[in-house]
Structure 1
Amino acid sequence: MSASPPILFDRALLRQRRNRAAASLPEYDFLLQRVIDDLLDRVESINRDFERVLVLGGGGVFGQMLAERPSAAAKIGTLIETDIAEKLARQVCVDEECLPFADESFDLVISPLALHWCNDLPGVLIQINRALKSDGFFAAAVFGGASLKELRQSMLAAETEIHGGASARVSPFADTMDMAGLLQRTGFAMPVTDVDRVTVRYGNSFVLMRDLRAMGETSNLAERSRRPVSKRFFVRTAEIYAERFAGDDGKIPATFEIIHAGGWAPHPDQPRPKRPGSATARLADALGVVENSAGEKAGR
């Protein structure tokens, strides 16, 4: 029997904070809009239509932006938008870790900035794969491991200085290799990943943390410290952040690494990689170079 995945995130707290952010999200959804714009580009690039489409997360922003993209909207039939937070769920409130949909229900599943809060991401991807029809497409965007690296370092330094030790205050995120491997492991065909790195400049770390709260993207770690956080900690964090990272204009950078990942539900007609040793042409011929045997020394 396989062990249960570790509980990294407090999903109840995530729902609570996303509900709290529902009123402010339209003013602070610039990253979400950037992600959805990229996802819609990917939908437009695919030479086919999608009769039934599921959106996991996004607070209804996907549907709003789709209405402004007629070429993408023409490819999409029935659109079902969900969110874990009741106040952000456009149509259905759904926990991504327990999808209530029947197998082979959708032609396309999209997830903008939601799956990085899942405790069992492989399990979620398996459920998404099952919910897709054969040859259905999945595309997601999640925050990657380099996100908020400046804030993470500043908080670590401040807490070590004040308390002589530190606890995790910024959530761990996946990287591109993690996502590509996970897609393959969970049965997706032709998986692809790429990275969009965004640097946002702020007057200070207090403004950055205000934006994170308004986005519903503050840390939801299950094993977070229960020790009350003092004003001194946040002030020292802001000082260290400015000392280490501020530019000549005094503003601080905040890095957001956005990993895009996509793959197809398996279908018999999809291209398959050839088995090792089955190639009929030499790589050296394709590159126009001379092939040396293992015992020969390459010329200069």
Structure 2
Amino acid sequence: MTQEMPRIFDRETLIARRARRKREALFLHDLARDEVEDRLQFVKRSFTNPVIVAPFAEVWEGLLPSAKITGDQDLLDLEEGAHDLVVHAMGLHWANDPVGQLIQCRRALREDGLLLVVTLGGQTLHELRASLAEAETYVSGGLSPRVAPMGEIRDLGALLQRAGFALPVADLVPMTAQYRDLKHLMHELRDMGETNAMADRLRRPTPRAVFELAEHIYRQNFETENGRLAATFELVCLTGWTPSESQPQPLRPGSAKMRLAEALKVPETKLPE
């Protein structure tokens, strides 16, 4: 009997909220596109069958003229072994099974194919998460899921290895935005299609006192010098390759043909027994 993957996110709600997005609010997706474009310029290879997995196709149109663009649903619309490049953009942080998403990407790639992922990282909206948690605990005496959990860079890098990718690399791009008040931030998240779609979210209206106290806590801890609220967004960029015999391989222990002292051109010193 197979164990079902826990459902962290309500995909139906997520789809409905994404449908209300406003193009001008998708600045994180535009930044992700810029990062992908920059990284591809450093790859000395021409890709003939790329595919882009992304929630909002309009952001990615024209990036790779021959690319197929498909959504980031649980079961990806990818053909096995059909692609030499998969770009998975701004959807992994909403995946109920992120490792499964990466495995699907690996299966869609040919030997020595490239996966490039951009997703939101663990420090994203940490100010909002902390302020709401403290306020709700004080007002209601408990906590409800409000800001989706997002992976730290080390954990996300490890997912590439779990999914079977070689030569994994992970790096991050932090940025800070500023908002007039908490309402301004919440409206921006709504226009991004990034508001709470967790399966265990609170299903009744939140008391106004929670938001009023949350703004007070937010200002106490994260207000900028010009009286605005700072909000952190963190893009994590991951790259990995499908295994190939042509890729660099680590040497076996004991297979070195030169001693370290010889390589460094220094006298070899024996340790005391």
**Counterparts in 2 of 1:51 and 1:290: CA distance versus 1, 3 Å:** same
The 2-side partners of 1:283 and 1:176 are apart by 33
Partner residue of 1:125 out of 102, 106, 110? 102
SS of 1:125's equivalent in the other structure is helix
Return the letter of the residue paired with 1:10.
D
TM-aligned CA deviation for residue 3 of structure 1: 3.1
The 1-side partners of 2:158 and 2:248 are apart by 19
Return the letter of the residue paired with 1:110.
V
Tell me if 1:225 matches 2:202.
yes
TM-aligned CA deviation for residue 288 of structure 1: 6.5
**Counterparts in 2 of 1:153 and 1:284: CA distance versus 1, 3 Å:** farther
Q: Which aligned pairs between 1:1-300 and structure 2 lie closer than 5 A?
A: 3-21=3-21, 24=22, 26-64=23-61, 66=63, 76=64, 78-84=66-72, 95=73, 97-283=74-260
TM-score by length of 1: 0.84
In terms of mean alpha carbon deviation, does 1-10 or 153-162 score higher? 1-10
| Identity value in percent | 39
**Deviation per CA, 1:53-89, whole angstroms, max 9, x where unpaired?**
11111512443462xxxxxxxxx452111225xxxxx
TM-aligned CA deviation for residue 279 of structure 1: 2.5
Q: Kindly indicate whether the alpha-carbon contact (under 8 Å) linking 1:58 and 1:111 is maintained by their aligned counterparts in 2.
A: no
**Deviation per CA, 1:102-141, whole angstroms, max 9, x where unpaired?**
2111111112211111111111111110001111111011
The 2-side partners of 1:260 and 1:99 are apart by 20
Gaps of 5+ in 2: none
State the superposition RMSD in angstroms: 2.1
**Counterparts in 2 of 1:212 and 1:289: CA distance versus 1, 3 Å:** farther
**Deviation per CA, 1:117-175, whole angstroms, max 9, x where unpaired?**
11111111111100011111110111111111100010011101101121221110111
Q: Kindly indicate whether the alpha-carbon contact (under 8 Å) linking 2:70 and 2:77 is maintained by their aligned counterparts in 1.
A: no
The 2-side partners of 1:107 and 1:190 are apart by 16
Q: Kindly indicate whether the alpha-carbon contact (under 8 Å) linking 2:89 and 2:117 is maintained by their aligned counterparts in 1.
A: yes
The 1-side partners of 2:83 and 2:55 are apart by 18
Return the letter of the residue paired with 2:241.
W
The 2-side partners of 1:2 and 1:186 are apart by 19
Q: Kindly indicate whether the alpha-carbon contact (under 8 Å) linking 1:103 and 1:131 is maintained by their aligned counterparts in 2.
A: yes
Aligned pair count? Answer: 273
**Deviation per CA, 1:7-36, whole angstroms, max 9, x where unpaired?**
111111111111121xx1x21111111111
Q: Kindly indicate whether the alpha-carbon contact (under 8 Å) linking 1:51 and 1:77 is maintained by their aligned counterparts in 2.
A: no
Larger relative CO (CA 8 A, sep 6+): 1 or 2?
A: 2
**Counterparts in 2 of 1:107 and 1:229: CA distance versus 1, 3 Å:** same
The 2-side partners of 1:135 and 1:62 are apart by 27
Q: Kindly indicate whether the alpha-carbon contact (under 8 Å) linking 2:33 and 2:60 is maintained by their aligned counterparts in 1.
A: no
The 2-side partners of 1:295 and 1:8 are apart by 57
Q: Kindly indicate whether the alpha-carbon contact (under 8 Å) linking 2:122 and 2:234 is maintained by their aligned counterparts in 1.
A: yes
Gaps of 5+ in 1: 67-75, 85-94
TM-aligned CA deviation for residue 265 of structure 1: 1.3
Q: Kindly indicate whether the alpha-carbon contact (under 8 Å) linking 1:58 and 1:114 is maintained by their aligned counterparts in 2.
A: yes
**Counterparts in 2 of 1:284 and 1:247: CA distance versus 1, 3 Å:** farther
Q: Kindly indicate whether the alpha-carbon contact (under 8 Å) linking 2:222 and 2:229 is maintained by their aligned counterparts in 1.
A: yes
SS of 2:84's equivalent in the other structure is strand
**Counterparts in 2 of 1:153 and 1:51: CA distance versus 1, 3 Å:** same
The runs of 4+ residues in structure 1 deviating greater than 6 Å are 288-291
Return the letter of the residue paired with 2:160.
L
The 2-side partners of 1:15 and 1:143 are apart by 18
The 2-side partners of 1:290 and 1:220 are apart by 63
The 2-side partners of 1:289 and 1:211 are apart by 60
